[in-house]
Amino acid sequence: MPRFALRIEYHGAPFAGWQRQADQPSVQGAVEAALARLEAGPHTIAAAGRTDAGVHALAQVAHCDLARDWDPFRLSEALNWHLKPAPVAITACARVADDWHARFSAIERRYLFRLICRRAPLTHEAGLAWRVGHRLEVEAMREGAAHLIGRHDFTTFRSTLCQAKSPVKTLDELRIETVDRPDGAEYRFHVRARSFLHNQVRSIVGTLERVGAGGWTPDDVARALEARDRAACGPVCPPQGLYLAAVGYSPDPFA
């Protein structure tokens, strides 16, 4: 059966997350239902990562096996037609080898978290970013973030529901970008690693927000990491500002 890689963009608000669920809408369920309109199912697709409820994707990657050897462009166009009106789009499609796997072939994953500082509630960006009503000290956040880069035991920044076999991960990048706005400021957290623990990014961003607000010092982040204790973590930020931004492969099937 021909195997296809799909690059998928979605707005996470209407969904209970990526993973298919019996009684709630999911992104996986929406894509599988669209596939069933093209070829009789059932269909099961595998993704590079399972995003939580409310989390968005700019470039999630999944793969599917089909009976027909579709032209990739026509397959993406047909899927997008059947995905309407769900806020899900196939932005690229490629034929891949039979042993290629969206999850296990990935060599890195990139996440973006958007945090907007302004007094007024968000309107156009509601559900697309985390709003806080106070300014943050970005240099303090960067100093705190530096303690987390590299290979560490991230037990402190791991959900108690995490199913990963080991809490040890290597964080290759944790960069904080600032964007000035007429209504305040936006902070964009760019995070890159081969793989992540459940709630790791949201736990890190929530902790760094406390540093930026002055409630924590940058060295408190190091002490929290060394504690290897979930109770030592700062608050976990909401999912609305989190985006799965990219998944890396070598070679890139979409190149």
Burial class (CB in 10 A: 0-12, 13-18, 19+), 99: exposed
Q: Cα(246)–Cα(28) distance, rounded to whole angstroms?
A: 17
What is this structure's pTM?
0.96
pLDDT-derived band at 203 (thresholds 50, 70, 90) equals very high
pLDDT-derived band at 98 (thresholds 50, 70, 90) equals very high
Q: How many residues does the chain have?
A: 255
Q: Report how far apart the first and last C-alpha atoms of the chain are (Å, whole number).
A: 23
pLDDT digit string (tens) for 34-48? 999 999 978 999 999
Q: Cα(113)–Cα(242) distance, rounded to whole angstroms?
A: 4
Q: Is the pLDDT reported for residue 213 higher than 90?
A: yes
- Point out the catalytic residue in the list 23, 52, 69, 99: 52
Q: Cα(63)–Cα(43) distance, rounded to whole angstroms?
A: 11
pLDDT digit string (tens) for 140-179? 999 999 999 999 999 999 999 999 999 999 999 999 999 9
On whether the CB atoms of residues 143 and 218 are closer than 8 A, the answer is: yes
On whether the CB atoms of residues 162 and 203 are closer than 8 A, the answer is: no
pLDDT at 60: 98
Burial class (CB in 10 A: 0-12, 13-18, 19+), 16: middle
Q: Cα(248)–Cα(255) distance, rounded to whole angstroms?
A: 11
pLDDT digit string (tens) for 59-69? 999 999 999 99
pLDDT at 41: 79
pLDDT-derived band at 227 (thresholds 50, 70, 90) equals very high
Query: Can you list the domains of the chain with their CATH numbers?
Result: 3-105 (3.30.70.580), 108-246 (3.30.70.660)
In three-state form (DSSP H/G/I as H, E/B as E, the rest C), the secondary structure along the chain is: CCEEEEEEEECCCCCCCCCCCCCCCCHHHHHHHHHHHHCCCCCCCEECCCCCCCCEEEEEEEEEECCCCCCHHHHHHHHHHHHCCCCEEEEEEEEECCCCCCCCCCCEEEEEEEEEECCCCCCCCCCCCEEECCCCCHHHHHHHHHCCCEEEECHHHCCCCCCCCCCEEEEEEEEEEEEEECCEEEEEEEEEECCCCCCHHHHHHHHHHHHHHCCCCHHHHHHHHHHCCHHHCCCCCCHHHEEEEEEECCCCCCC
Is 99 a catalytic site residue? Answer: no
